[in-house]
């Protein structure tokens, strides 16, 4: 399984993640040229070698009309004539960039998560949120670059270490706030984080949102055969090397994922209501939802509803369970899920294009035709599913 491990021992910021991922590519100059051809207004990307505590890596800077973040006139350049502090403005910018649709969708989802965090922290609707620091074109450039790099690397899974958030206080548009900043803390809920003796903001809202969006799971470095290592350097100097480290390699399929298991019992819901609840839970990001008939108090027949989800999605799924079922309480467990690496291929057959699911791991390989394609062939030819399957196997 192609695995990307992101080491956040010194936190994460958008530019550091971008630089670390860029170092994993064989042709970095070509990718930089691609970034500079996206059409972000006034934006240019530059990459240069940097050294932190004797370790050589890459620092990526974003310049707006020639000025980098932190330059005296930086803010003037990226605000004049380009209002972009609200989510609608971010959507407008993203819609006009030369991006694959999947990358555009990822970038927008990252910003929506930041908007949700800001909305929660400030107690105002999402549509009224003004992003301040994370609304600048620098941050848009960082988010777009990171999403485009993830698309180019295309890992099967992304494992992220516990996140070092730093300590002390940070100065922002709203004043002096504790580290981690409130929006960062909200984005990193249910994520393993820690502080320490290093004073400063090590994880930014942009970095937290990118980690949360792309992480398959959070945990220690898995057993893997490493093929490439990237170091993305920050601007500041600390006693420890200020960098994000990215390791790309191969792991065996079927390594254990930690998932949350949510369960509740109901005895006063109709089959239609339970079915609707299951649909909403799956739409809300559940990995799996299933029901089991159970016996309840007073000898009543009931239904056990069980939801599997990523720990980071737990709170959202808990809210959905209470909203769409009649339960008065639920149970939560953390459990390990073992999965095979999976992919879907499309075959050209005399009966039309047919998708095939393939999986492998633990010395076992499996494949099966996609049900919807089998059903289409069976309906079109007035035959059974079994006959449709035999026809495909013989083509």
The pLDDT, as a whole number, for residue 70 is 53
Residue 158 to residue 214: CA distance in whole angstroms: 7
Output the CA torsion 239→243→249→253 (10° steps): 80
Q: Which residue has the tokens 């480290």?
A: 245
The ranges of the chain with pLDDT < 50 are 72-84, 133-135, 254
CA angle 318, 322, 326 (to 5 degrees): 145
H/E/C letters for each residue in 156-211?
CEEEECCEECEECEEEECCEEEECCCHHHHHHCCCCCEECCCCEEECECHHHHHHH
Q: How many CA atoms lie within 13 A of 385 on its CB side?
A: 8
Q: Are the C-beta atoms of residues 266 and 300 closer than 8 Å to each other? A: no
- Which helix (H) or strand (E) is 94 found in, with range? helix 87-95
The pLDDT, as a whole number, for residue 339 is 78
Residue 96 to residue 101: CA distance in whole angstroms: 11
The pLDDT, as a whole number, for residue 131 is 56
Q: Are the C-beta atoms of residues 108 and 95 closer than 8 Å to each other? A: no
CA angle 22, 23, 26 (to 5 degrees): 95
Q: In this structure, how many other beta carbons lie within 10 angstroms of the beta carbon of residue 384? A: 11
Sign of torsion over alpha carbons 303, 332, 106, 82 = positive
Domains of the chain and any CATH numbers: 2-250 (no CATH), 256-338 (3.30.70.1380), 341-393 (no CATH)
Residue 393 to residue 395: CA distance in whole angstroms: 6
Q: pLDDT tens across 145-187, in order?
A: 999 999 999 998 899 999 999 998 877 666 788 888 888 999 9
CA distances from 112 to 109, 118, 356 (A): 5, 10, 33
The pLDDT, as a whole number, for residue 120 is 79
Q: Are the C-beta atoms of residues 149 and 18 closer than 8 Å to each other? A: yes
The pLDDT, as a whole number, for residue 53 is 93
Q: How many CA atoms lie within 13 A of 31 on its CB side?
A: 22
Residue 124 to residue 340: CA distance in whole angstroms: 43
The answer, as to whether pTM is greater than 0.85, is no
End-to-end CA distance of the chain: 30
Q: Which two tokens stand for residue 44?
A: 């240019």
The pLDDT, as a whole number, for residue 317 is 94
- Which helix (H) or strand (E) is 217 found in, with range? strand 217-218
CA angle 365, 366, 368 (to 5 degrees): 160
Residue 113 to residue 95: CA distance in whole angstroms: 18
The pLDDT, as a whole number, for residue 73 is 46
Task: Please choose, from the candidates 45, 1, 289, 19, the residue with its C-alpha nearest in 3D space to the C-alpha of residue 159.
Answer: 1
The pLDDT, as a whole number, for residue 312 is 78
Give Cα 66 distance to the centre of its chain: 31
């Amino acid at each position: 399984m192609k695995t990307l491990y992101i080491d956040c021992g010194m936190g994460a910021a958008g530019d550091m993640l971008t630089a670390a991922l860029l170092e994993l590519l064989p042709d970095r100059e070509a990718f930089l040229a691609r970034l500079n051809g996206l059409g972000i207004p006034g934006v240019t990307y530059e990459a240069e070698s940097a050294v932190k505590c004797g370790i050589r890596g890459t620092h990526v800077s974003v310049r707006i009309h020639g000025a980098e973040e932190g330059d005296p006139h930086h803010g003037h350049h990226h605000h004049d004539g380009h209002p972009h502090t609200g989510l609608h403005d971010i959507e407008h910018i993203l819609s006009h960039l030369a991006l694959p649709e999947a990358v555009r969708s990822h970038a927008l989802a990252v910003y929506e998560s930041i908007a949700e965090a800001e909305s929660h922290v400030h107690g105002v609707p999402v549509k009224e949120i003004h992003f301040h620091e994370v609304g600048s074109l620098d941050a848009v450039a960082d988010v777009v670059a990171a999403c485009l790099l993830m698309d180019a690397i295309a890992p099967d899974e992304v494992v992220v270490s516990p996140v070092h958030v730093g300590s002390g206080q940070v100065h922002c548009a709203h004043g002096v706030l504790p580290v981690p900043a409130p929006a960062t803390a909200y984005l990193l809920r249910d994520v393993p984080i820690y502080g320490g003796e290093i004073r400063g903001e090590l994880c930014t809202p942009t970095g937290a949102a990118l980690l949360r969006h792309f992480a398959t799971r959070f945990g220690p470095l898995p057993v893997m055969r490493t093929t490439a290592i990237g170091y993305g350097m920050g601007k500041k100097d600390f006693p420890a090397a200020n960098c994000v480290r990215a390791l790309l390699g191969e792991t065996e399929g079927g390594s254990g994922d930690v998932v949350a298991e949510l369960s509740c019992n109901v005895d006063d819901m109709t089959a239609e209501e339970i079915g609707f609840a299951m649909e909403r839970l799956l739409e809300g990001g559940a990995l799996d939802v299933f029901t089991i008939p159970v016996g309840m108090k007073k000898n009543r027949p009931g239904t056990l509803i069980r939801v599997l989800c990523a720990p980071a999605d737990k709170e959202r799924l808990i809210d959905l369970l209470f909203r769409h079922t009649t339960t008065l309480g639920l149970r939560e467990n953390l459990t390990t899920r073992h999965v095979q690496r999976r992919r879907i291929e499309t075959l050209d057959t005399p009966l039309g294009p047919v998708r095939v699911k393939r999986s492998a791991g633990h010395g076992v390989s499996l494949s099966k035709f996609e049900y919807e394609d089998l059903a289409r062939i069976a309906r079109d030819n007035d035959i059974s599913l079994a006959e449709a399957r035999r026809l495909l196997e013989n083509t």
